[in-house]
Structures are given as structure tokens and as C-alpha cells.
Chain A
Amino acid sequence: MRIIVCIKRVPSTETRVRVGPDGKTLDPADVEYILNPYDEYAVEEALRIKEARGEGEVTVICLGPGNGTKEIRTALAMGADKAIHLVDESRDRDAWSTARILAEALKGMEKDLVLFGKQGVDFDQSQVGPRVAALLGWGCVTGAVKLEIGDGKLTAEREIEGGREVVEAPLPAVVTAQKGLNEPRYASLKGIMKAKKKPLEEMAYEDPGKGMEIVSMSLPPERPPGQVLGEGPEAVPLLVEKLKNEAKLL
């Protein structure tokens, strides 16, 4: 079973977001980077599938900056077997472009299952995984909270409004991981040491350009300062009055 997990490096969720000097991308000053949290669920699931079957190989592939190997090493430390790095210094690559590059790279690789995190916590698009599936002509399950690999097919559950859908797809297929799919393991010290020796190769690719153009980046309008109406249940009548007359919500 050959499982490929596509991962990315993103600014940590603690980042104080500021508009950079180009007016279009994040100000990089003081930004710390992490492995995309949703990708951790994907890496974890790949490892669990391999462990459950007692065989297989997990490869991670990362499109990202040349100095962004820490996150790739994290995936290797968790237990992935090898890594491929597509070096990309651009800061505004959109999903159309990313998917084209990844699909092209994947075409040359042996694979039964390709996993993604549901979305990158930077651009929050939830596009790359399903795009890659469409480009490869494969089935896809987005936002999986449960995944079972059967004989030549998979069965997964995803959350929808008011419940869950049970989806089936033949292998090979793409699955994007949602929170709740599993609990990602922490890399052990042993894993971290082993990761240093695992293969991490750079792979060349053709840059297809951009599908979307960023006109500008801005911060949301500031909320006007609020009011603490009082303490305890005695403040409730005032709250109700405000909701009724000021906010017009009652």
C-alpha cells in the first residue's frame, strides 16, 4: 500500500497577522511556522493505515520554501518513510496552481491513496485536495472524520449539515482529513533521530503561473468597543433591553 500525504508549512495560529509591504501578502516579520494542523491528521491516518495492514510505505510531499524543511522533518519524525520537497519561494500561489503542480508530480509516483489536510490554516480554501483528485480523474472524500480501507476501495464518513454522509470510492482515491479523524501522535525522540536519516529529495517542477490574482489584502474592520452592562443576574434586564432596542434582535 503506497500512501502519499501532501503537506504544507503555514504560519502558526498564534500569529499576529499584519499586511506586508506589498499590500497583498502577510508581513513575514516575527512569523513562526508549523506543519499545517489539518495535515497532521492526514499524516497520522497514513501511518495508522500502514500499521494496521502491517505493510506499506508513506511518502510526504511538500510544496514550499527551501528553508521550510522543519515541517517535512516533523512528518518524517512522526513516522513517514520518505519525503519529496518541491521548492517554492512564492508567497501568493493559489490552489489552481498548487494542484496542477502536485498532480503533475503525483502522476510519476506509484500510489494507492493520496491524503491531504482538509484546508491550510493560512488561506482556508479547502481546494487543493479535491482539485488534485479531479485532475487525476480519481474519486475524492473531503473532510473525512472516519476512513476505512477495504479491498480496492475505501469507505469514509464526512460531516454535513444535520449529520454525516457515508461515501464510497474505488482506490486509488484522494481523501482530505478533518479534525476528529484521529489523534495525531507526537514525534518521539527516537522518531526525531530516525527522521534525520530518512530520504528527503528535492524534485523539480514546472510553474504554471497563477489562477487567481490578489488585488489587495486588508484587516477586518475593528469592532466598536463594547460595554460591560453589569454583574450577575441583575444585569440581565439591561441586556434584554439592549438586545431589543439597540441591537433590534428581540
Chain B
Amino acid sequence: MSDSVLVFCEHREGNLRKPSLEAMSAGVRLAKELGGTAAAVVLGTDGSAMAEKLGALGAARVLACPDESLQKYTGDGYAKALAGLVKKEAPAALLFPASAQGSDLAPRTAALLDVGMASDCIDLDVEGGAVRALRPIYAGKARILVRSKGTPFVASLRPNVFPIEETGGGAPAVETFTAGLSEGDLKDRVKEVLAAAGGKIPLTEAKVIVSGGRGMKGPENFKILEELAQAFGPEAAVGASRSAVDEGWRPHSDQVGQTGKTVSPQLYIACGISGAIQHLAGMSSSKVIVAINKDPDAPIFKVADYGIVGDLFEVVPVLTEQVKAAKAQT
């Protein structure tokens, strides 16, 4: 239906991942603006475990493909399955979360549909009946507003930006479909997943990030940042600047910045980070930025909402204690 929105939802072992819930809500809002409805698409599952949650977010339907061949992620297989579905459904828009899986899958699907796509969008609207997306470029130093020349409008949505909204909707209609793919059709497949130690919240989804730079002086000192993150709770994570990663103190997957992750937490606490332009590119869309640095002239103080000039080894432990105390009061 030319006023409907399809939202690809990523799940792990039957659980919908947070960026998918955000994309679902964004899809529901977009469909409303278009005068239509939104449907969730889930692959490698019969959708029964997720239907209630998706309905609560406003999904009118859940389109599920329980095919064996799609039980483990295969970008090639998922793109083919999704493209086939989209050709049948002919929605106005197709949305993806810009998670690792969504970002891998979306452009392949768009290519099979022979349409353009807007990646990592931070806003969606409708103007004159056409969907538009706002997306960052030059590592967030600028943004562009774009329209598609084809249909459907395809976009991936940046995690931690679009609010999750319960609309009080009831259980949606669940329809299963088959992609008709055999194992031999699949050109790339995930063989196994190597889980990182700790099971912590990914940086791109964290509400609070405590980040360390060259001022941390060594890998063992990141322990005090981990303690501060723990004081904030399970939705806090520890990041690092490029300096800390290049020194080998932290893995590249923790790097925030132009050649690392772009993050949008509620709170970003930069410890011993000078604030190079490439680092700012990765975190400048944080809602609140706090900087702790010995150097009063560090560029980070120019973007920080609140700053403390001082030795982070003295300041951070005190902050940890006081955050714990403040949380204990609530």
C-alpha cells in the first residue's frame, strides 16, 4: 500500500534489540503522517515471541519468515527475502535500525530494489506527500536533507535518537511468509558468533558513556572509569578516544570518533580527552557533555556543558561516590 511503512526488526534469540524498537516507533509515526499503517518484518522466526511488543509500539501487522535457511543471519539471504516481500507489499517506506545487522542488510536490500537509501538518519518527515530524511555527513560536521527519486523510501535510523513510544495498540495480525531460499542460494552466512566478555550495553545504545583519552596514562587506569559507569547503572558504557586505542589500552570497538563509533548518549563524560575535532565528530550529538581535564585550554571545554579542571585520578573516584549516593536517594 503506498501509504504503508515496513520496518525491519532485528532480534536475537527472540528478543527485539533496542534500535529495532526505536525504528518501529519511528515507522509508526511516519505511517501516521502518511495516512497509513506500519508493519514489522522479522526473519528467521515465526514472530510469535515478538508480536505483543510490536503491537504495543503500534505495529498493525507482523510479517514473519520462519524459514530454516534464515535462522542464522545471512545478509544475502535476508536481503533477498526482504526484497521479495517489499515487491509484493509495495510500501511507501522501508526502515531499518542502523545497527550492525541493519546497516549490513539495508543497502543490499535497496540495491535489489534498485532504489536509493539514506543511511544513519537522525530525523524523518513528510513534505508534499514525500518522505524526507535528515542525515549527518562529514562525521557530523554537517547534515543533509534528502528525498528519494524512487520508491519505496529506504532508510536506516541511527540508534539512540528516535524515541520508543507505546501507543497502547493491541496484538497485531501475524502473517508468515516464505522466502523460498535453499542453503545453496545463500552467498554469505554467519557461521558463529564470538561473544565479547561482559555482555555490556553497546556504546551506540548506551544512555551514559564514560570515556577516557591519553590522560588515562595506561590501560589499568580505565578501571576507575568502569567504576563510574557502574555507578550510573546497566545502561552505561566505557568508551575511549583514538589516542587510548592507538596506544593499545582499549580495543578499537570502544573508540568514539570519526574512525570509531558515533554515539548519542544522554550523558558523555570525557576524562583526560583533549577534544580533537575527530573525537568531537563521534560524540557531539550527546545530550549533555561533561569534561574532566587537567588542561584548562583543552578544546573539549568548548563543547562541554559542564567542565571540571583537575586531575581525573582525583576527580573521578569522588564523582563515582557522589553518583552512587545520588542514585541511592532516588
Binding site for B on A (CB under 8 A): 11, 13-15, 17, 19, 24, 26, 37-38, 94-96, 99, 121-128, 130-135, 137-143, 145, 155, 157-170, 173, 179-180, 209-220, 223-224, 226-233, 235-237, 239-240, 242-244, 247, 249-250
Closest A residue to B207 using CB positions: A249
If A11-B138, A210-B149, A230-B308 touch, does A127 touch B117 (CB 8 Å cutoff)? yes
Q: A211 touching B104 by the CB < 8 A rule? A: no
Q: B132 touching A215 by the CB < 8 A rule? A: yes
Closest B residue to A158 using CB positions: B100
What's the nearest-Cβ distance from chain A to residue B289, in Å? 7
Q: B289 touching A226 by the CB < 8 A rule? A: yes
Total residue contacts A-B, CB cutoff 8 A = 280
14 new A-B contacts, CB < 8 A, other than A130-B108, A217-B137, are A11-B138, A121-B139, A122-B137, A127-B107, A133-B76, A134-B111, A140-B108, A214-B146, A216-B145, A217-B144, A219-B142, A220-B141, A224-B305, A226-B306
For B140, what are the chain A residues with a Cβ–Cβ distance below 8 Å? 220
For A131, what are the chain B residues with a Cβ–Cβ distance below 8 Å? 107-108, 110-111
Q: B190 touching A166 by the CB < 8 A rule? A: yes
Q: A139 touching B193 by the CB < 8 A rule? A: no
**B101-116 Cβ-contact flags toward A at 8 Å (1 or 0):** 1011011111110111
Q: B259 touching A37 by the CB < 8 A rule? A: yes
What's the nearest-Cβ distance from chain A to residue B231, in Å? 10
For A250, what are the chain B residues with a Cβ–Cβ distance below 8 Å? 323, 326-327, 330
Interface of A is mostly: mixed
Binding site for A on B (CB under 8 A): 17, 73, 75-76, 79, 99-101, 103-104, 106-112, 114-120, 132, 136-150, 186-196, 199-200, 202, 204-205, 208, 252-253, 255, 258-260, 266-267, 277-278, 281, 284-285, 287-290, 296, 301-311, 314-315, 318-319, 322-323, 326-327, 330
Closest B residue to A235 using CB positions: B308
Closest B residue to A164 using CB positions: B194
CB<8 Å pairs between A and B, sample of 20: A17-B138, A96-B114, A127-B117, A141-B188, A155-B191, A158-B104, A162-B200, A163-B194, A163-B195, A165-B73, A212-B117, A213-B147, A214-B145, A217-B142, A220-B143, A227-B305, A236-B318, A236-B319, A239-B319, A247-B267
CA distance A126 to B202 in the complex (A): 19
Residue in A14, A161, A164 whose beta carbon sits within 8 Å of that of B204 in the complex: A161
CA distance A173 to B188 in the complex (A): 9
For A155, what are the chain B residues with a Cβ–Cβ distance below 8 Å? 191
Interface of B is mostly: mixed
Q: B266 touching A249 by the CB < 8 A rule? A: yes
Q: B306 touching A216 by the CB < 8 A rule? A: no
CA distance A11 to B63 in the complex (A): 42
For B267, what are the chain A residues with a Cβ–Cβ distance below 8 Å? 243, 247, 249
Q: A227 touching B103 by the CB < 8 A rule? A: no
CA distance A168 to B137 in the complex (A): 31
CA distance A155 to B169 in the complex (A): 44
CA distance A149 to B312 in the complex (A): 45
CA distance A26 to B187 in the complex (A): 38
For A232, what are the chain B residues with a Cβ–Cβ distance below 8 Å? 308-311, 314-315
Closest B residue to A19 using CB positions: B142
For A37, what are the chain B residues with a Cβ–Cβ distance below 8 Å? 259
CA distance A229 to B304 in the complex (A): 11
